[in-house]
A and B are shown apart, each in its own frame.
Chain A
Amino acid sequence: MNKIMYLEFERCIGCRACQAACRECGDHDAKERNYVEYVDFTESRQTFPMLCMQCKDPACARVCPANAIQITEEGVVLSAMEEKCIGCRNCTFGCPFGIPKFDFEKNKMYKCDMCYDRTREGISPMCASVCPSDAIRFIDFDEMQELRRRRTQMNLIEGKKPQEGNKWDYVPEFFGVYTDSNQ
């Protein structure tokens, strides 16, 4: 069973339930690790959720001088190991997506770990399980493929064609290809 985190930014209604849920997750120490941000606050109330992409070759781990960022066998990029992290914040600057957060008080970095204790068991992460508008979904690989096809069809029905500037509209983003332990 391949599970995938599927984000649709347009569906976000800005309720921040995902952030509240994130704070409740095990080992998150009552601090949220995901983001809900405004596209342009002066223009509209459109928000978007943002999570870690769980890169295959994460830039954050590559710029870490203490070698503190580890990747699990499932492909989840974990927060910096507390005993190694020297608190230099290189990861927050190296990450191309601006994901890792830094706790100045406790001198350590923390980031989205896809609720490792839940997803490890095939349970959907906290944010995806509470999202009321399905902006964040934790779905099967096949379901994701279906959504992608439908989205492309919809675009074609509306008479839109992919162009260099908007080709990504036709290939919805997915990330965090996730192999379950029940396999």
Chain B
Amino acid sequence: MHRLEKSFYSKTSMYSFLVLLVLFLSMWVATDQFLHIDMALLGYAISSAIFAVGLTIRMSFWLYRTATNRVASRSMKNLFTKERLKWSAKAVLITLVDNIILQKFIFKRGLYRGIQHLMISWGCLISFAITFGLTFGWMRFDLIDPETYQIVVFNIPTMKMAAHGLFAEIVYNGLNIGAIMVLIGASMALWRRISSYDVKVTQRFEFDILPLLILLSVTVTGLILTVLYTFFDGWMHHYMSLVHQVTVVIMLVYFPFGKLFHVPVRPLAAAVPMSYQEVVKVDTKTCKCCRQPYSNDDQIADVQAILQAQNFDLRLADGTQLSDYCTGCRRRMRALKQMNMEAPKGNPYGPVDTNNGIHLSGFSKKRSEEFYGIDIEQDYKGEKDSEPVSR
């Protein structure tokens, strides 16, 4: 593998080449050595190849990130560990159904947003599946007798269907159904982006609105094509199909580099139940200070490793790291450090002397010095022990 890598300009270019090679071979197999290739879709095929290369490059760079790499590699390891296989499979299944198929978490952010996102995502997934299936020739329809079509997948004849049956109609109109779904979803999203003051706080035109406009232009031009050939006898169809092709090419080339790149990022969500929540909402790692469970051991180990790999030195004097403390304790430690009220002398985990000589302490009662672990005798002698101790 290392040798193979050396013969390329970079790892990323090797992966891109391999992806292109696989695509080409799959086309070669699926189209019966380019016998059944649909030349009308050549433009789409080339832009899909660019899309694949762009996606590979972005995915590679994303997976090289220290944090992503750590989380992803732990998940992969867990996935192939025998003892955890059952839980991992369940975690992947839960993520697939809840997060990706049903997108429950978006519905919890609002019904409007849920419907909007479900429409866009499923419309896109249907359209992408059909587009890639047809352009790369992975799927084609053979007419075996005047009334029957056969679906050929990867050059393997599969099911037959009546040319005018209900199923056939659904298959023919797959792209139209997808387009209508995207049209509804993207219009809803665009309306939300225009009308809601909340989303305007951090929204950027080129990141949040441009992808919606691109999706809308693809769907609208695609649907106009359908209207032209059904109601207008194909009037202007040829020109319109070119316009549609241009919009699709723009969308495919834009996909890996803009907001739409969140689609391939999503499956990493499986890592959360798989590696970090063996039992949902039960934490195992306890805070070094307050002893309350706040996280999972594996996760804290990962966070510390990621920080260390990026030269973040968040270690304290006693060897613990800041991530060994729960968030509440971390906030308190910072405030105390700044007010120079760090727990007190001798024992960094002891009670805090909040009596600063200006404000009376809460119960108007001065505690004895021993309570805070202060040894007056030693204080007078000027021993080092009585200096405030940091953790």
Contact = CB atoms under 8 A, between A and B. Distances in A.
Contact of B109 (A78, A106, A168): A106
A136 B336 CA distance: 17
Interface in A60-81: 62-67, 78-79, 81
Contacts of B354: 39-40, 43-44, 46
B265 A86 contact: yes
Q: Give the secondary structure class of A's interface.
A: loop
A101 to B, nearest CB: 8
B312 interface: yes
A104 B67 CA distance: 21
A10 interface: yes
A93 B342 CA distance: 22
Contacts, number: 170
A88 B272 contact: yes
Interface in B23-39: none
A43 B310 CA distance: 39
Contacts of B266: 86
Nearest to A28: B198
A87 B355 contact: no
A43 B68 contact: no
A99 B331 CA distance: 8
A65 B70 CA distance: 8
A90 B67 contact: yes
Interface residues of A, number: 56
Contacts of A88: 71, 271-272, 276, 299
Interface in B195-211: 197-202
Interface in A86-144: 86-90, 92-99, 104-108, 113, 116-117
Contacts of A26: 197-198, 200-201
A117 B65 CA distance: 30
A84 B67 CA distance: 14
Interface residues of B, number: 67
Interface stretch (B14-22, B153-161, B300-308): B300-308
Interface in B101-147: 105, 108-109
B359 interface: yes
A66 B62 CA distance: 8
Interface string B268-299: 11011000100001000000000000010001
Interface in B320-367: 322-323, 325-332, 334-342, 351-356, 359, 361-362
B259 to A, nearest CB: 7
B306 A94 contact: yes
Contact of B299 (A43, A84, A90): A90
B385 interface: no
Contact of A86 (B259, B272, B314): B272
A116 B67 CA distance: 27
B387 interface: yes
B228 interface: no
Contacts of A107: 105, 108
Nearest to B300: A93
B314 A59 contact: yes
Q: Which of B281, B299, B329 has the most CB of A within 10 A?
A: B299
B335 A9 contact: yes
Nearest to B70: A65
Given A59-B307, A87-B272, A106-B105, A27 B331 contact: no
A64 to B, nearest CB: 6
A39 B331 contact: no
A159 interface: no
Interface of B: 62, 65-68, 70-72, 105, 108-109, 197-202, 259, 262, 265-266, 268-269, 271-272, 276, 281, 295, 299-300, 302-303, 306-307, 310, 312, 314, 322-323, 325-332, 334-342, 351-356, 359, 361-362, 387-388
17 contacts: A27-B199, A29-B198, A39-B339, A43-B353, A48-B335, A67-B65, A81-B262, A89-B299, A90-B299, A90-B303, A93-B323, A97-B330, A98-B326, A106-B109, A165-B340, A165-B387, A166-B388
Interface of A: 9-10, 26-27, 29, 35, 37, 39-40, 42-46, 48, 50, 59, 62-67, 78-79, 81-84, 86-90, 92-99, 104-108, 113, 116-117, 164-166, 168-169, 173
Given A27-B202, A59-B314, 15 more contacts: A9-B338, A27-B198, A40-B354, A42-B362, A43-B353, A64-B67, A66-B68, A66-B268, A67-B67, A86-B265, A87-B105, A89-B299, A90-B71, A94-B306, A96-B330
